């Protein structure tokens, strides 16, 4: 019985790794329903990916390599489980400490597990922040801005109040407001206040210079969050019209095209941007290509672009985390859970409060048969962003594997309530999530012996997906 349950979940789950950003999710399924006992081996993707090199003389040698070079992969090579956990904890603590100091972000300190190091980190960051507040508030605002820290808002508000001709600060403040609005939306809160502030602020920037390409690029991004994709595309076009060398405008337009399911146009824009970025410095291009090529099942191209992102020093932590998570997805599809998990842990040192990260960890835990951990990570994802349907799908899987069928049904039903309003999902991928939530409910009813409701939800899953093909 347990093996049949795993089969049912894996069928849904392997597909689920890639469908979040997918507009062609039907290609992942060669059958209509996911009934226990009907697994097909070809669902795993066989790729020629590099294997983890574990050529250490001993566990201690691997531990030393991890410790000396902050190499989380080396921890994965340790055979003794207790020593492996110690290695992972110590290495992640060190990396988090370093990133906290670079980004002046105490929230990173809070994820350090060793208390003495956590306390030291908090103290060092707070001292540095206080010094910069007095000596160089502009630098502090810029550090916060580059690390997506919403504390930049207060500082930029003060800076724009004292210098009303600095267009760069207005642009940064507008973008910070927009990102704050997006975070509020993910928490299930009203985003309109911050979106309005973003529009008002970019309007002030436009008053300073109405021919600035960056002004229109940021205004386009605010419209993405509003959301008004038609207006966003018009404004990205205006930005490019004013400066056809504005690489980020092509990246932004590519993102909007992706949001509406125009994948070929998105690829075209991103490749134009990549052609202009001869030094490969703008990692947003390659992070987007990494994710998009993965969604198109072009795994080789996805990995190549992901590597550009993760190998860049001092790059945007959000985009680097996204690239690590995509690589984890691909390794998982290839059946390499060790490297998949290692990449997720690397992502965790960059964005430890990313709900998508915990969803992926939850799904890996199921493949590891660590169902309690799977439930814990799914619930953490929900605690971070309670409006994401995929988090409830992961929780439903975890509860199903623990034979908590009624609870699993409740979790999936909650996910169904969220799908339409879930701003983290591309519109073309929503039917696939809705389908899988219905199939999860069907599997639970099957275990409970209610064949009528099982069939009802199988049909719902099939219908909602076929309707949107």
Cβ-based neighbour number of residue 101 at 10 Å: 15
The whole-number pLDDT of residue 3 equals 53
C-alpha 292/C-alpha 301 separation (Å) is 10
pLDDT tens digits for range 160-198 = 999 999 999 999 999 999 999 999 988 888 999 999 999
pLDDT at 158 over 90: yes
- pLDDT bracket for residue 321 (50, 70, 90): very high
Q: DSSP states of 103-138 as a string?
A: HT-HHHHTT-SSHHHHHHHHHHHHHHHHHHHHH-HH
Q: Which residue has the higher pLDDT, 49 or 137?
A: 137
Q: What is the mean pLDDT of the chain?
A: 89
Residue scoring higher pLDDT (29 or 334): 334
Tokens 């992901």 -> residue = 306
- Tell me the pLDDT tens digit for each residue of 423-445: 888 777 899 999 999 999 999 99
Q: Which of 37-41, 77-81, 101-105 has the lowest mean pLDDT?
A: 37-41
Note the pLDDT of residue 28: 22
Quick one: pLDDT at residue 34?
Answer: 37
Q: Give 3-state DSSP helix, strand, coil % of the chain, rounded to 5.
A: 75, 0, 25
Closest CA to 202 of 231, 184, 187: 231
Mean pLDDT of the region 380-405: 96
- Give the rounded distance of the alpha carbon of 335 from its chain centre: 21
Give the span between the Cα atoms of 65 and 235, in whole angstroms.
50
Residue 89, classified by CB atoms within 10 Å of its CB into exposed (0-12), middle (13-18) or buried (19+), is middle
Mean pLDDT for the stretch of residues 60-87: 96
Q: What is residue 2's predicted lDDT score, i.e. its pLDDT?
A: 53
Q: Which two tokens stand for residue 36?
A: 């226990």
For helices 337-348 and 355-367, the axis angle rounded to 10 degrees is 160
Q: pLDDT at residue 301 above 80?
A: yes
Higher pLDDT, 456 or 24: 456
Tokens of residue 446, six digits: 């099957």
Do 184 and 170 touch, CB atoms closer than 8 A? no
Q: What is the CATH number of domain 1-44+335-469?
A: 1.25.40.10
Global pTM value: 0.87
Angstrom distances, CA of residue 16 to CA of 258, 391, 397: 19, 11, 11
Please tell me the predicted confidence (pLDDT) of residue 469: 58
pLDDT of 363 over the 80 cut = yes
């Amino acid at each position: 019985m347990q093996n049949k349950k795993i089969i049912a979940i894996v069928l849904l789950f392997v597909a689920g790794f890639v469908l979040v950003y997918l507009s062609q999710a039907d290609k992942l399924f060669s059958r209509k329903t996911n009934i226990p006992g009907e697994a097909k081996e070809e669902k795993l993707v066989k790729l020629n990916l590099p294997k983890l090199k574990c050529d250490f003389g001993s566990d201690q040698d691997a531990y030393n390599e991890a410790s000396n070079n902050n190499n989380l992969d080396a921890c994965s090579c340790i055979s003794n489980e207790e020593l492996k956990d110690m290695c992972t904890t110590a290495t992640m603590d060190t990396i988090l400490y370093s990133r906290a100091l670079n980004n002046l972000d105490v929230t990173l300190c809070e994820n350090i597990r060793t208390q003495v190091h956590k306390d030291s980190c908090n103290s060092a960051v707070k001292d540095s922040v206080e010094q910069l507040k007095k000596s160089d508030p502009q630098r502090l605002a810029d550090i916060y801005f580059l690390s997506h820290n919403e504390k930049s808002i207060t500082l930029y508000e003060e800076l724009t109040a004292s210098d009303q001709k600095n267009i760069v600060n207005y642009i940064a403040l507008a973008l910070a407001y927009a990102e704050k609005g997006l975070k509020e939306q993910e928490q299930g809160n009203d985003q309109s206040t911050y979106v309005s502030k973003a529009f008002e602020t970019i309007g002030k920037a436009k008053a300073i210079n109405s021919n600035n390409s960056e002004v229109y690029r940021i205004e386009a991004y605010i419209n993405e969050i509003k959301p008004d994709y038609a207006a966003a595309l018009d404004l990205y076009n205006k930005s490019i019209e004013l400066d056809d060398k504005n690489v980020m405008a092509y990246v932004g337009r590519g993102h909007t095209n992706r949001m509406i399911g125009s994948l070929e146009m998105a690829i075209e824009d991103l490749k134009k941007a990549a052609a202009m970025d001869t030094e490969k410095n703008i990692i947003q291009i390659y992070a987007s290509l990494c994710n998009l090529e993965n969604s198109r099942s072009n795994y080789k191209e996805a990995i190549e672009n992901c590597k550009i992102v993760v190998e860049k020093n001092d790059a945007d932590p959000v985009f680097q985390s996204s690239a690590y998570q995509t690589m984890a997805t691909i390794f998982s599809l290839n059946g390499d859970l060790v490297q998949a998990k290692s990449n997720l842990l690397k992502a965790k040192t960059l964005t430890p409060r990313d709900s998508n990260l915990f969803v992926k960890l939850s799904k890996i835990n199921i493949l590891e048969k660590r169902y309690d951990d799977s439930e814990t990570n799914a619930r953490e994802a929900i605690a971070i962003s309670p409006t994401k349907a995929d988090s409830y799908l992961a929780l439903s899987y975890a509860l199903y594997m623990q034979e908590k069928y009624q609870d699993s049904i409740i979790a999936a039903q909650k996910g169904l309530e969220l799908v339409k309003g879930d701003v983290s999902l591309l519109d073309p991928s929503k039917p696939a999530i809705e389908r899988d939530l219905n199939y999860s409910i069907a599997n639970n009813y099957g275990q409970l012996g209610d064949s009528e409701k099982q069939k009802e939800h199988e049909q719902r899953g099939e219908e909602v997906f076929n309707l949107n093909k």
